[in-house]
Structure 1
Amino acid sequence: MNNQYKNNWFKTFFALLLGFGLGATVFIFSNELHGGKRKIKAARSINNLSITDDGFLEQQSILDSLSTLKAAYDVIILENAVLSDELELEKRNIENLMEIIQASHNPSIQQIKIYRNQLVVLKVSLDAKMAEIKKLKSQNKNLLTEIESQNLVMYKQKVENDTLVLKQKKLETTLKDAAKLSLSNFKVIALKEKSSGKELETEKAKNAKKIKVSFTVNGNSAAKTGKHLFYIQVLDQKNAVLGENKLIEFENDKALVYSFIVATDFQGKSANVYGVLNADEGAFKKGTYFINFFDKQEIMGSTSVTLE
């Protein structure tokens, strides 16, 4: 009987021990299962967070690059008026892309890829514009060098031309001066008339009926030959012009009041010329008379005569 009792107790204890072991095993497995799920969820959350952070950083990197491109366009627009319209258009494309990226929250990998491709296109466009500007600057530099060279040549030519013109003017002046007639041997005498008609020199004003002037036209082979006129101006004590008292105007806006004209046929050789001024009414008055000899408006010589 005692053995039967012990066997029954042992079976009961073994059954309790087996049940407790199964419960503990189920509890531990269940906890491990839930713990694994939590780890999986946590890992997924970490992965998602990593993907989001990478997208943000990539998005910010693209925006920074676009800002750099925009700043580069601001600089070259100020320096290049010729391409300003094209450069402004490229700059506006950059600003539009920046606005699109800034408006995009949590962009996908595909969106980031599109933005990156567009950034590359804009960079290539900037490089092309820079190359074009560099080419234009080189062309402008060459053009400026060519213009400076041409200006130097033109300046030298102008200096040479001015020198030639000056020499030509000097030559013309020399030839003109060489072709001018010169006068010499200026003489003036008062004449009286005898009843026989013979004329004699006198110094008495009451006897003087004429004032005779004479001079020599010096020979000059360079001077123009043919008829030549000389203007004689006789001034009395009051500085009044005697004789014809006529006014003649010349091409250079100069004028002369003369007493009478002396003409000669000049043929390149020396010639003695004379002219006579008759008293207007009776004899000349006492005093000194001044006589000026003109070739057109240019005075060639002067002399005087005094009558007592």
Structure 2
Amino acid sequence: MESITNKKSNNSGLKAIIAILALLLLGSLWYVYKIKNDSKTVENVLISEKDAVLKDLMIQKDSLNAAISSNTTLSEELIAERDKIQQLMADVEKSKGDVASMSKFKTEAATLRSNVAVLMKQVDGLKRENAKLTVQRDSTAVVLGEARKYTDTLVDQNFKMANTIEKGSKLSVLNLQSSAVKQKGSGKQVSTDKASRADVLKISFMIAENQIAKSGDKTYYVQVIDSKSNVLGDKKTEMFGEKSLTYSFVTSVKYENKTVKVEKDLPVTDIQSGSYFVNIFDKAELVSKTSFTLK
């Protein structure tokens, strides 16, 4: 009798073990299914993000191609930005679409989109300026025609024409950019946004093409001011009539009526964090300005 009781007890224990193992198996199968399902969901999201990035880059590329075809004076900058977009598109196409890569690509795409927006704004500005110059030239032609008909107004018309030409011949300073770098012993410069690391400030700007301006050497005075209103660099003062200008450095360029880029490095030491302001002067006239911040 006792043997029968033990046998029944053993059978009950075995059934309990089998039940537990069955539950564990079912749990394992459910977990594998969930992991697989979650992985598929993530994969679909990454594919969607990849397609969105490529679509965004294609839109920016098309905008640049349209601007390049208009033959503005910013063609070199537009082409350079388009090449960056094409390279990024190639990198996205080749990528496996992992989370880290897509995050990096989205950040780079956003930066390029911002750069393209700035360039397109400049292109629109140049188109408006060219349209104004065209109107001015047409107006000048009309004035000259009237001057031939009415000799009693010749002096007044010539005076107006001279003023129009003088305004149209003024040079435009565009795309003023400034940044801080760390100069390494090898001569390589590494960009930085930290004041403690910066030992060179890079300043660059473009003088726009103007066929009616006088060619020759052009001199610009560059003024860099820190957040405490201190002028960096040479700190020399020049008088222009009754006006004085304290500047950081002077740069000269040979202008031949074509777009020309001006670049200059300003060595600095022990500069502090804060906002920095860069002003470009043609004698005493402020022609361009920008600012940047160092941590």
TM-score (norm 2): 0.49
TM-score (norm 1): 0.47
